[in-house]
C-alpha cells in the first residue's frame, strides 16, 4: 500500500486512518471512537506486535519521510506529521526502536554507503533489528567529544576497546551506533569515527545500569577487543563528530520542549491530572504553587505555539523557540516534586497495590534526569547565552590541543 | 483564536512607534519630564495623536478612533514600556477609555471618547483609596444623588495622572453599591495632590473630594462588575508594557556583559553572568508569550480574557521585577548609580507590580477560574 | 543558654560514633540491609547498645540510661544521618523514648525505658493514619475501655519501624479525646504490613488494629498535648540527622567537582558548579546552626523549644532536599544511577520532609508562636 | 584621661561609662536610662559635635586599639570591644570618619613612616581631617587590581592622572588613600603603589555620583596632573596591592555579616519592625514569607554567634564564619522587597509627609547595593567555592601578563 503519487496531507491522513481502522482490532477502534480508556487498555492485549510492526513498516508509516526505495513514503516532514498525528489519535506508538529509526536511520540515510542503506534501513523500520547508541562514556558526558573508547585499524577490521554508558536497549540491540577515537593525536573533535557495531560478539559485554528509580533503563557496554568491519564504518575516518552532531540535533529535538505542548508527553503527573485529583485545593500555599505550575505549563505550550506560528508564517525564528527545553525541564522537576508534596506522607510510603502513589514517587525520582539527560541545564544555559544572546564562550582549555594531551577524569 | 504572530502591518506599526519614541522620548527627555510638575510633554502628546493617532488607535471609529484591536494597542504599549515614555497613555487610553467602553454608556462614551481619541482629553481612573485595598471592600468613598446628578465625598489615592486629568472616572458607593462616575478635573470641591512615587516616570495623585459634582457612568450599583472587566484589560495592557520593559533591560544587560571586561575577560564569558542572562532570556520570552496571548485574547475572544489576563499579570509582573533587578546586578556599581537608566526600569517594574493587585492575588483568581 | 560550641568530650563522642558507623554501616552494608525484611542488623544494634550505649545515651539514669542531654543525642543522630544507618534508632530512641518521657507516666517509663535503653526493646510511635493528616483531626482510630485495660480498633500508617517494633505507642481517640496507648508488637488483633517506601533506608509499616489490647500511657484525653511536645523533640532529632545528611552530600558534591574533568578542566572551576557548591555550603551551615540551636534549646531551655524546633524543622528539611538534589545534578548522569549513593540521600531527605509535617506547616506554627 | 595601667575589660567599660555619663548632655543620659527614643532624638541636638569628637579622641575612645603615642589606648581588639559596646549602649557613634579611622589609619599604622604616623594619625582620630578611599575605577570594580589611574614620578613628586569612583565623603576629605599604577609593564598586582593624596589641589576634581536612591552618597574623583609628594607614598613602590589587601580585609569585615547580629545594623526595615507594624498578618502567603525571613534572620544571628563562640572557645574557625555576609546580603534584599510588598500600593506612592512609606521604598532601592558593594555576590560565591571549599580557580586570562597587555573595558 505504498503511496506513489504525490497527494495532499489531508488525503494522506485519511489513507492512514483507513489503514488503521482496517488493521487494528475492532475493539481498539471502538475504544478510540468512544474515548474509553479502559476498553483500550484491554484491547491492547489483542495486538500481536511483531506482525503489527511489519505491517506498519510495510505501509510506510513508521518512516514516512524516508525515500520510497528504503521503505518510506518520501514525504516532507510537514506532510508526514499528519500521519504521526493520526497514529497519535489512534493511540498507537509509531515505533519502539527510537535509536534505530531517529538516530541510526537518519545517520545512515545521510552518511551511509548504498550498501549500508540497503542492508540496514528496512530492518530498522520493521523493528527486526533494534539499535542502541554508543556515544557517552563515564568520562565523557557533557564533554562528549572527549570520548576515550579507542578503535585501532587492523587490516579491514577495527579493534575496539573502551566503555560506553547510557546505552538504552543494548541487550535487545543487534547493532550499536558507535563513536570511537581513531586518532588520539589531533584535537578532540577531529579524531573520532562513527561505526555500525554488531552487538552480538564476544568482545562486547553489556551490564545493566539502573536509574535511581531502580528501572534498568540504561546499560554500560564494555568493549574488549570488539571488532567491526571497515565496511561498517559510517562516514569518513575522523568525521565521526560531524556524524554525531547531525544526529544529536535530532536527539535534542526529541528530548526538547517542542513536544511539551503535546498531550501525554509529560513524564509523571500533568498539571491537569493534579487539578483533577486534588481540586478543590484548600491550602492557599498549595493553590498558589499549583497556579504557578499551571501558568508555567501554559506558557511553555503557548511559547511553542508562538514559535510554530512564526515558522508557518515564514518568519525568522526568534529566541522563543530556544528557551522551552530548559524551562520545561526545570518546570517538570518542580511539578513532580509538587505532585509528591501534595500527597503528604502518602507520597513517601504506600501499600503494594497503591499505583498512584508509587507512580507519583517514581515520577519524582525520574524527574531528576530532566535537567541532566540530553544536555545538562548548565550546558543549556551556556547554549542560550552563547548561541542565542551572542555572549562569548569561556576560554577553552582544550581547543586545538591534541586529545592525548588534554586533562581528563 | 488566530495564531499569535504579528502581521507585516503590525510590525510596521511597531517600527513607526519605536522610531517616534527614540526621537521624542530618549533617556534625556525622560529624565527631564520626570522632574516636571505635569510629568509629560503636551507637545509630544499632541504629535502622538495627530501624526500617529496612537490615542485613538483602539477606540471604535464611531467615537473618533481608528478601531484597531487590543493587539495593536499592545504593540504601542510594549514600545512605550521599552522607552519609559512619560505620558498619560496608560491612564487615559487604557484605563479611562476602556472603562467607558466597558460601561456601554452611550452618553458617556459620546461625551468623552472622541476627546480621549484625539488627545484633547486626558482621562484617568480612580478606584484605590488610602487603604490600598484592591477589592470592592476597599471603596469607602460615597456618592449621593443631588438634583439631576450626584455629589461625591471621599478620598482617592494612587490615581495615575490624576493631577492633570480632565476626566476622572471615580468609583464610589451609592445606596445600590459601588458605581462609577465621571468627574471633571476642574470640578469644584476637588483637591488634587501629586504624590511622591517610587516610579519616577509615572505620576500619581491623591484626590480629596468634598461634595464634588459627578455624572453616573453605566448602571448604578454595577460599578464593581464593570471594574472587574476593566482590570482584565488594564493588566493586559500593562503586561505588554512590562514585556517591553523586560526586553529592554535584557538588551541592556547583554550589551553590557558583551563589552565590560574584568579579569582580562568579557564578563559575559563568565558563567555567573552568562547563566543569569540565560535566565533573563527565559523570563522575557515567556513574559512576551503571556502578554501576547492576553492581547490576542482581548482582541479575539474577550469572553475568555480573565484567565489569559491573570496569567499575563502575574507572570509579567514578577518577570519584569526580576530582570530589572538582575540588570542592576550585572551592571555592578554602575547599575547602582542614579545616572544609569537601570533603576528607572526597576522603579517602573516594582510600581507596576504593586499597583494593580499583587501577582499572588491574580494567581488566586486564576485558581478559581480554572477550578483548582 | 550556653554557647553553641561542642566540648572536647562531645567531639570525642562524634569521632567514636563516626568510626563505629564507618565500620558497621558502610554503603555496602546499607544497601544490603535496605533489602532485608527487618531493615536493620540486630547484631550491630546490639553492639550500639553494649559497646557504645547509644540507645540509652539520653535516657535518664533512673531508667537505665546514661542521662546525657539532647545535644549528645543530636550528635549521634547527625552521624547516623551522614551514614544513612539502617536501624530503628529514630523510632525507638527518639520517638518512643521521648513519648514515654514526656508522658511522665512512671509505670510506662519503668516498664519500657530500660529495654529501649539497652536495645532489647524496639519502640515506635503510631500517630498518622491513611489520611496522612498530621493534626489532631487526623486521628480516627478509637480506643474503648475493656476490663482493666483498653482495646484499640483502627488503622495506623507510616509507622516507622512498626513492622519490627516490640512496643507501639498508638494515638487513639477515647471519650476524653486523643490519648496514647502502649501496644505490644505481638498483641492479638494486630496485623502489620511493611509499606513500600521512597526512603529505602527507613522502614515504615501499616498497622491494622482490631480490638487490640492496650495500656493507657499518661492521662486519658491528653494525648495530643503530649504528642505536640514529642513532635518538637522529634523534629529536633530529625534536624540533626538532616544536617548530617546535608553535610555528607555537600562533601560528596565537592569531592566530585574537585576531581571530575570535562572540557579539559576540573568541573569545580566552572562557576556554574562552583556557585552551586557555594549555595549548598550556605544551606548546610545554616542547617547545622538551626539543628544545633534546637538541640541546645531542647537540652537547656526545653520550655522554649517550640520556636527553635519550628525553625530547625522547616529550614533543615528544605535545605536537605535542596542539597541532595543539587548533589545529583553536580554528578550528572552518574548521580542518576542506582549504583551511586546520591539518590539514597535524596530519598531520605524527601521522605523526612513529608513525614513530620511539611515545612510550611511548621512556619505557620512559628508565625503563631512569634505573634505574626 | 588616657588609660596608662593595664586594667581589665570590665573596669575599662566602667571607665568609659563614667566618661560618657559625665560628658554627654544630662538629657541624653536620662533618655538612655529610660529607653526613651523620642527624648534621645531631641537630646542629640544639644551635643556640639566638633568638640565631642575632640574629647572622645582625647580620651582614646575613638581608636582604643592604637598605640598610646598616637592617641590610642594600646588595647587588644577583644578588650577594646567592651568600649565599643558601651558607646553603642549610649547610642553615640564612635566616629564619622570611617575611611580615616578604619582604613587609612590602619594602613598608616602598618605601612607608614614615623613621620606619616606623627603627621596623620591624631587628626584622623580627632575628626579634624576626614579621609576618602580612592581605589575603585569605572573599569576596575570586581577586578580592582586592573586599575588604570597612573602615577608617574617626577623628581620627588608623582603626577597622577585618571579617575576613581565610589569615593564617599570626597568633598569633605582632606586626604585620599590612593592606589595608582606606577609600572604598567608588570602583571597587574605588581605595578601598584599606595599614596596619601592631598585632596585640596587644582588637579583634583570631585563630582557627586548619586545612588539609585538619589542620595549623593558617593563621588567620582578625576585627576588631571594631580600631585603627591614622594614623602606621602605609603609603603614601597609596587607594593600597593599588599597595602590594599590588608585594608580591604578590614572593609570586608565592616560590610560583612559579622555585624549582622548586632541590633540596628539593618539598612531599612528589620523583621521585628515588620512584625510590629503588620501583625497580625492575615494573608497566609505573606505570613509564610515573613516566617521565612524571620528564620533567615535568626539563623544568620545564630550562625554568627556560633562562629564567635568557637573563637572564644579557642577552636578552629569553620565555614560558618564565612557564609553570613553573602547570605545576609541576599536576605536583606529579599527582606526589603518584602517590606515594600507588604504595603501594597502604598509602597510605591506616598504623600510628602509619609516618612514610613518613603523610607520603605528608599530601603528597597538601597538594598540593591547589598549584593554589589564590598564584593559582588558573584565574587563572594567564588570566594566560598575556592577558599572555603577548595575548588580550583578559573583559568586566568591575565595571570603573569603585563598589565599593559591585558584586555580591559
Rounded to two decimals, the ipTM of the complex is 0.94
Q: Looking at residue A92, what is its pLDDT?
A: 83
Between CA C254 and CA D189 the distance in angstroms is 30
Q: Which residues of D are marked as active site?
A: 251
Q: Looking at residue A263, what is its pLDDT?
A: 31
B:88-147 residues touching chain D, CB 8 A cutoff? 128, 130, 132-134
Q: Which residues of B touch C (CB under 8 A)?
A: 270-272, 275
Instruction: For residue C260, list chain A residues with Cβ-Cβ distance below 8 A.
Output: 409
Cell numbers linked to D112: 607608614
Percent of chain D, pLDDT > 90? 63
Tell me how many degrees the CA angle B260-A385-A399 measures, rounded to the nearest 5: 85
Residue of A nearest to C355 (CA): A345
* Residue range D117-172, pLDDT digits in tens: 999 999 999 889 999 999 999 999 889 999 999 999 999 999 999 999 999 889 99
Instruction: For residue C257, list chain B residues with Cβ-Cβ distance below 8 A.
Output: none
Instruction: For residue C364, list chain D residues with Cβ-Cβ distance below 8 A.
Output: 284, 287-288, 291
Q: Is C263 left (phi over 0), alpha (psi -120 to 50) or beta?
A: left
Query: Residue C1: is it exposed, middle or buried by C-beta count within 10 angstroms (0-12/13-18/19+)?
Result: exposed
- Three-state SS at A225: strand
Q: Please check whether residue D371 is in contact with residue D333, taking contact to mean a CB–CB distance below 8 angstroms.
A: yes
- Is the model's pLDDT at D92 over the cut of 90? no
Q: Looking at residue D98, what is its pLDDT?
A: 83
- The reply to whether C1 touches chain D by the CB within 8 Å rule is no
Q: Looking at residue D52, what is its pLDDT?
A: 87
* Residue range A220-249, pLDDT digits in tens: 999 999 999 999 999 999 999 999 888 776
> Do B262 and D143 make contact, defined as CB atoms within 8 angstroms?
yes
- The reply to whether C360 touches chain D by the CB within 8 Å rule is yes
Residue of D300, D327, D338, D381 best to disrupt the C interface, most CBs of C under 10 A: D381
C:286-325 residues touching chain D, CB 8 A cutoff? 286, 288-290, 292-293, 311, 314-315
Phi–psi pair at B234, nearest 5 degrees: -60, -45
Q: Looking at residue A311, what is its pLDDT?
A: 86
How many interface pairs between A and D have CB atoms less than 8 angstroms apart?
Answer: 10
Contacting residues for D362 by C-beta, under 8 A, at least 6 apart:
D213, D268
For residues A65-69, average pLDDT: 90
- Return the bridge partners of A131, or none: A175
Residue of C nearest to D275 (CA): C372
- Is the model's pLDDT at D263 over the cut of 50? no
Instruction: For residue A318, list chain B residues with Cβ-Cβ distance below 8 A.
Output: 285
Contacting residues for B198 by C-beta, under 8 A, at least 6 apart:
B347, B350, B351, D347, D348, D349, D361, D364, D365
Q: Of A298-307, B122-131, D265-274, D386-395, where does mean pLDDT reach its minimum? A: D265-274
Q: Please check whether residue A162 is in contact with residue A184, taking contact to mean a CB–CB distance below 8 angstroms.
A: no
Between CA C72 and CA C64 the distance in angstroms is 17
Nearest alpha-carbon partner for D342 in A291, B354, B313: B354
Instruction: For residue B271, list chain C residues with Cβ-Cβ distance below 8 A.
Output: 270-272, 275
Instruction: For residue D380, list chain C residues with Cβ-Cβ distance below 8 A.
Output: 278
Q: Looking at residue D406, what is its pLDDT?
A: 87
In this complex, the chains that touch C, judged by 3 or more CB pairs closer than 8 A, are A, B, D
Calculate the average pLDDT of chain B: 97
Between CA C272 and CA D396 the distance in angstroms is 17
- The reply to whether A386 touches chain B by the CB within 8 Å rule is yes
Contacting residues for D13 by C-beta, under 8 A, at least 6 apart:
D82, D83, D85, D86
- Return the bridge partners of A226, or none: A160
Q: What is the DSSP letter of D394?
A: P
- Is the model's pLDDT at D269 over the cut of 60? yes
- Is the model's pLDDT at D9 over the cut of 90? no
Between CA C308 and CA C304 the distance in angstroms is 7
Confidence at A253, pLDDT banded by 50, 70, 90: very low
Confidence at D245, pLDDT banded by 50, 70, 90: confident
Confidence at D3, pLDDT banded by 50, 70, 90: very low
Q: Looking at residue D261, what is its pLDDT?
A: 29
- Is the model's pLDDT at B325 over the cut of 70? yes
Percent of chain B, pLDDT > 90? 97
Residue of C254, C287, C289, C366 best to disrupt the D interface, most CBs of D under 10 A: C289
- Is the model's pLDDT at D254 over the cut of 50? no
Confidence at B212, pLDDT banded by 50, 70, 90: very high
Beta strands in D108-191 (DSSP E): 131-134, 150-154, 157-164, 175-181
In this complex, the chains that touch B, judged by 3 or more CB pairs closer than 8 A, are A, C, D
Confidence at D321, pLDDT banded by 50, 70, 90: confident
For residues B241-257, average pLDDT: 98
Contacting residues for B213 by C-beta, under 8 A, at least 6 apart:
B146, B149, B150, B151, B183, B184, B187, B188, B189
Between CA B38 and CA B161 the distance in angstroms is 8
* Residue range B226-243, pLDDT digits in tens: 999 999 999 999 999 999
Between CA A118 and CA A239 the distance in angstroms is 22
* Residue range D189-209, pLDDT digits in tens: 999 999 999 999 999 999 999
Q: Looking at residue D250, what is its pLDDT?
A: 57
- C-alpha C249, offset from chain centre: 18
**Nearest neighbour of D315 by CB, restricted to C5, C258, C311:** C5
End-to-end Cα spacing for chain A: 54
Cell numbers linked to C133: 493528616
Q: Of A66-70, A338-342, B141-145, D288-292, where does mean pLDDT reach its minimum? A: A66-70
Nearest alpha-carbon partner for C239 in C86, C367, C122, C73: C73
CA distance, residue B87 to nearest chain D CA (Å): 18
- The reply to whether B371 touches chain A by the CB within 8 Å rule is yes
- Three-state SS at D211: strand
How many interface pairs between A and C have CB atoms less than 8 angstroms apart?
Answer: 137
Confidence at D249, pLDDT banded by 50, 70, 90: low
- Is the model's pLDDT at A96 over the cut of 70? yes
Q: Please check whether residue B271 is in contact with residue A384, taking contact to mean a CB–CB distance below 8 angstroms.
A: no
Q: Looking at residue A250, what is its pLDDT?
A: 57
Half-sphere exposure of A383 (CA within 13 A, CB side): 16
* Residue range A189-202, pLDDT digits in tens: 999 999 999 999 99
D:101-140 residues touching chain B, CB 8 A cutoff? 136, 138-140
* Residue range D46-61, pLDDT digits in tens: 888 888 888 999 999 9
Q: Please check whether residue C276 is in contact with residue C111, taking contact to mean a CB–CB distance below 8 angstroms.
A: no
> Do A389 and B281 make contact, defined as CB atoms within 8 angstroms?
yes
For residues A337-366, average pLDDT: 95
Cell numbers linked to C372: 505574626
- Is the model's pLDDT at D240 over the cut of 60? yes
Residue in the block written with cell 480508556? A37
- Three-state SS at C244: helix
Percent of chain D, pLDDT > 70? 93
Q: Please check whether residue D351 is in contact with residue B206, taking contact to mean a CB–CB distance below 8 angstroms.
A: yes
Q: Please check whether residue D119 is in contact with residue D196, taking contact to mean a CB–CB distance below 8 angstroms.
A: no
Q: What is the DSSP letter of D112?
A: -
Q: Please check whether residue B86 is in contact with residue B31, taking contact to mean a CB–CB distance below 8 angstroms.
A: no
Instruction: For residue C270, list chain B residues with Cβ-Cβ distance below 8 A.
Output: 271
**Nearest neighbour of B274 by CB, restricted to A281, A299, A381:** A381
Between CA B262 and CA D146 the distance in angstroms is 8
For residues D374-397, average pLDDT: 92
Helix intervals (H) in D209-351: 240-255, 271-278, 284-312, 324-343
From the CB of residue D352, how many other CB atoms can be counted at a distance below 10 Å?
10
> Do C275 and B270 make contact, defined as CB atoms within 8 angstroms?
no
- The reply to whether A212 touches chain D by the CB within 8 Å rule is no
CA distance, residue B276 to nearest chain C CA (Å): 10
Model confidence, pTM: 0.93
- Classify strands A173-181 and A130-134 as parallel, antiparallel or unpaired: parallel
Q: What is the DSSP string of A298-311?
A: HHHHHHHHHHHHHH
From the CB of residue D33, how many other CB atoms can be counted at a distance below 10 Å?
10
- Classify strands C261-262 and D157-164 as parallel, antiparallel or unpaired: unpaired
> Do A397 and D397 make contact, defined as CB atoms within 8 angstroms?
no
Tell me how many degrees the CA angle B181-B183-B187 measures, rounded to the nearest 5: 150
Q: Is D179 left (phi over 0), alpha (psi -120 to 50) or beta?
A: beta
CA distance, residue A396 to nearest chain D CA (Å): 9
Q: Please check whether residue B137 is in contact with residue B201, taking contact to mean a CB–CB distance below 8 angstroms.
A: no
For residues B102-115, average pLDDT: 97
**Nearest neighbour of A306 by CB, restricted to B4, B363, B372:** B4
Calculate the average pLDDT of chain D: 88
**Nearest neighbour of D281 by CB, restricted to C3, C273, C372:** C372
Low-confidence ranges of chain C (pLDDT < 70): none
Between CA C177 and CA C222 the distance in angstroms is 7
In this complex, the chains that touch A, judged by 3 or more CB pairs closer than 8 A, are B, C, D
* Residue range A152-186, pLDDT digits in tens: 999 999 999 999 999 988 999 999 999 999 999 99
Contacting residues for B31 by C-beta, under 8 A, at least 6 apart:
none
Cell numbers linked to A398: 582544550
Tell me how many degrees the CA angle B359-B363-B365 measures, rounded to the nearest 5: 115
- Is the model's pLDDT at A289 over the cut of 70? yes
Query: Residue B237: is it exposed, middle or buried by C-beta count within 10 angstroms (0-12/13-18/19+)?
Result: buried
Q: Looking at residue A85, what is its pLDDT?
A: 83
Q: Looking at residue B19, what is its pLDDT?
A: 98
Instruction: Tell me the helices (H) and strands (E) count for chain A, helix number first.
Output: 14, 9
Amino acid at each position: 500500500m505504498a503511496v506513489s503519487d504525490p497527494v495532499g496531507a489531508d488525503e494522506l491522513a485519511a489513507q492512514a486512518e483507513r489503514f488503521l481502522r482496517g488493521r487494528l482490532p475492532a475493539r481498539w477502534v471502538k475504544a478510540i471512537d468512544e474515548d474509553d480508556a479502559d476498553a483500550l487498555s484491554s484491547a491492547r492485549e489483542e495486538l500481536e506486535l511483531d506482525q503489527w510492526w511489519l505491517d506498519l513498516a510495510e505501509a510506510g508509516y513508521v518512516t514516512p519521510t524516508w525515500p520510497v526505495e528504503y521503505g518510506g513514503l518520501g514525504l516532507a516532514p510537514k506532510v508526514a506529521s499528519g500521519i504521526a498525528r493520526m497514529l497519535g489519535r489512534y493511540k498507537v506508538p509509531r515505533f519502539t526502536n527510537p535509536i534505530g529509526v531517529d538516530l541510526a536511520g537518519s545517520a545512515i540515510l545521510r552518511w551511509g554507503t548504498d550498501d549500508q542503506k540497503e542492508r540496514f534501513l528496512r530492518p530498522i523500520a520493521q523493528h527486526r533489528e533494534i539499535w542502541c547508541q554508543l556515544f557517552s562514556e563515564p568520562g565523557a558526558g557533557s564533554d562528549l567529544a572527549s570520548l576515550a573508547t579507542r578503535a585501532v585499524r587492523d587490516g579491514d577490521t577495527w579493534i575496539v576497546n573502551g566503555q560506553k554508558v547510557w546505552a538504552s536497549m543494548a541487550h535487545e540491540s543487534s547493532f550499536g551506533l558507535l563513536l570511537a577515537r581513531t586518532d588520539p593525536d589531533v584535537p578532540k573533535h577531529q579524531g573520532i569515527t562513527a561505526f555500525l557495531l554488531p552487538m552480538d560478539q564476544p568482545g562486547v559485554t553489556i551490564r545493566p545500569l539502573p536509574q535511581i528509580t531502580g528501572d534498568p533503563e540504561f546499560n554500560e557496554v564494555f568493549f574488549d577487543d570488539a571488532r567491526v568491519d571497515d565496511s561498517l564504518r559510517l562516514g569518513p575516518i575522523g568525521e565521526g563528530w560531524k556524524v554525531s552532531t547531525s544526529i544529536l540535533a535530532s536527539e535534542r529535538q526529541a528530548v526538547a520542549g517542542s513536544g511539551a505542548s503535546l498531550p501525554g508527553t509529560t513524564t509523571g503527573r500533568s498539571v491537569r491530572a493534579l487539578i483533577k485529583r486534588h481540586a478543590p485545593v484548600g491550602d492557599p500555599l498549595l493553590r498558589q504553587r499549583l497556579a504557578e505550575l499551571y501558568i508555567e505549563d501554559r506558557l511553555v505550550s503557548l511559547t511553542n505555539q508562538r514559535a510554530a506560528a512564526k515558522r508557518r508564517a515564514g518568519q525568522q525564528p526568534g529566541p522563543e523557540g530556544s528557551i522551552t527545553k530548559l524551562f520545561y525541564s526545570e518546570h517538570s522537576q518542580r511539578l513532580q516534586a509538587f505532585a509528591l508534596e501534595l500527597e503528604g506522607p502518602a507520597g513517601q510510603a504506600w501499600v503494594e497495590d497503591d499505583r498512584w502513589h508509587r507512580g507519583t514517587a517514581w515520577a519524582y525520582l525520574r524527574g531528576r534526569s530532566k535537567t541532566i539527560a540530553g544536555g545538562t541545564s548548565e550546558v543549556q544555559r551556556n547554549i542560550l547565552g552563547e548561541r542565542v544572546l551572542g555572549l562569548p564562550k569561556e576560554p577553552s582549555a582544550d581547543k586545538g590541543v591534541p586529545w592525548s594531551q588534554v586533562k581528563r577524569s | 483564536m488566530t495564531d499569535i504572530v504579528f502581521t507585516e502591518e503590525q510590525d510596521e506599526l511597531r517600527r513607526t512607534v519605536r522610531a517616534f519614541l527614540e526621537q521624542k522620548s530618549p533617556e534625556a527627555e525622560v529624565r527631564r519630564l520626570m522632574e516636571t510638575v505635569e510629568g509629560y510633554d503636551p507637545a509630544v502628546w499632541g504629535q502622538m495623536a495627530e501624526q500617529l493617532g496612537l490615542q485613538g488607535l483602539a477606540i471604535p471609529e464611531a467615537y473618533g478612533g481608528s478601531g484597531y484591536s487590543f493587539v495593536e494597542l499592545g504593540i504601542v504599549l510594549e514600545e512605550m514600556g521599552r522607552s519609559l515614555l512619560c505620558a498619560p497613555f496608560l491612564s487615559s487610553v487604557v484605563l479611562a477609555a476602556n472603562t467607558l467602553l466597558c460601561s456601554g454608556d452611550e452618553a458617556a462614551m459620546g461625551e468623552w471618547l472622541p476627546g480621549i481619541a484625539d488627545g484633547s482629553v486626558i482621562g484617568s481612573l480612580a478606584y484605590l483609596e488610602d487603604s490600598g485595598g484592591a477589592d470592592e471592600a476597599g471603596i469607602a468613598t460615597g456618592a449621593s444623588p443631588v438634583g439631576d446628578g450626584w455629589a461625591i465625598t471621599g478620598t482617592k489615592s494612587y490615581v495615575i495622572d490624576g493631577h492633570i486629568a480632565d476626566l476622572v472616572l471615580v468609583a464610589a458607593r451609592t445606596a445600590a453599591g459601588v458605581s462609577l462616575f465621571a468627574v471633571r478635573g476642574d470640578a469644584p470641591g476637588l483637591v488634587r495632590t501629586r504624590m511622591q512615587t517610587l516610579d519616577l516616570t509615572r505620576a500619581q495623585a491623591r484626590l480629596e473630594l468634598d461634595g464634588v459634582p459627578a455624572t453616573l457612568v453605566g448602571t448604578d450599583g454595577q460599578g464593581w462588575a464593570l471594574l472587574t472587566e476593566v482590570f482584565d484589560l488594564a493588566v493586559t495592557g500593562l503586561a505588554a508594557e512590562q514585556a517591553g520593559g523586560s526586553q529592554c533591560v535584557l538588551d541592556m544587560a547583554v550589551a553590557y556583559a558583551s563589552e565590560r571586561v574584568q579579569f582580562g575577560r568579557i564578563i559575559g564569558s563568565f558563567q555567573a553572568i552568562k547563566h543569569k542572562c540565560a535566565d533573563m532570556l527565559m523570563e522575557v520570552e515567556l513574559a512576551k508569550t503571556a502578554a501576547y496571548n492576553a492581547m490576542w485574547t482581548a482582541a479575539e475572544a474577550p469572553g475568555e480574557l480573565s484567565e489569559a489576563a491573570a496569567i499575563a499579570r502575574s507572570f509579567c509582573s514578577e518577570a519584569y521585577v526580576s530582570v530589572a533587578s538582575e540588570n542592576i546586578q550585572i551592571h555592578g556599581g554602575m547599575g547602582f548609580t542614579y545616572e544609569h537608566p537601570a533603576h528607572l526600569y526597576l522603579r517602573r517594574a516594582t510600581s507596576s507590580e504593586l499597583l494593580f493587585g499583587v501577582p499572588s492575588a491574580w494567581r488566586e483568581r486564576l485558581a478559581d477560574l480554572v477550578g483548582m
